[in-house]
Amino acid sequence: MAIANDVLAHHLLGQEKESRERVAPAIERFPSSTRLRALWIQSADREKTYGELLNATPGHMRKDAEVASALCRRAVAGGMFEQAVEHARDAVVDKPKWSQARLLLAETYFARVAMAERTTKPLTVEVRDASLAKSLSAADDTI
């Protein structure tokens, strides 16, 4: 826990290089730590793709709320909204009383709409309206 908290402290301070340097050996030492795996995903270089991070994450860890949340954020950053929604739902299922998971689900649905508005291929009205409704519902659940 002390090692995970050290990595988390660097991550929260925005010291991603230090976070990456500390989390890699920590994962080797504690390969079953979901907290460390989530921090590893969050602090990964932007050049590392969502697919690479997903493939490097053991399947049994992907449903953990913290790991699923980290994967969700990386999927959103890569414009992979279907995968992001799936990860956010996994986080809610794992920790149904954790408001952060529900808020992430709401943000993911909203990001899907917001990002589509900035492209040349917008969502259909039905998909946009459904995504906004799901976002509002998840936000209500957060409260």
Tens of pLDDT, residue by residue over 69-92, are 999 999 999 999 999 999 999 999
4 with 33: CB under 8 angstroms? yes
Higher pLDDT, 64 or 117: 64
Instruction: Give per-residue pLDDT as tens, 39-54.
Output: 999 999 989 999 999 9
> Given CA atoms 33, 35, 36, 37 in this order, what sign does their dihedral have?
positive
Q: Does residue 127 have a pLDDT over 90?
A: no
Which of 70, 69, 63, 64 is closest to 102 using CA atoms?
69
Model's pTM, two decimal places? 0.85
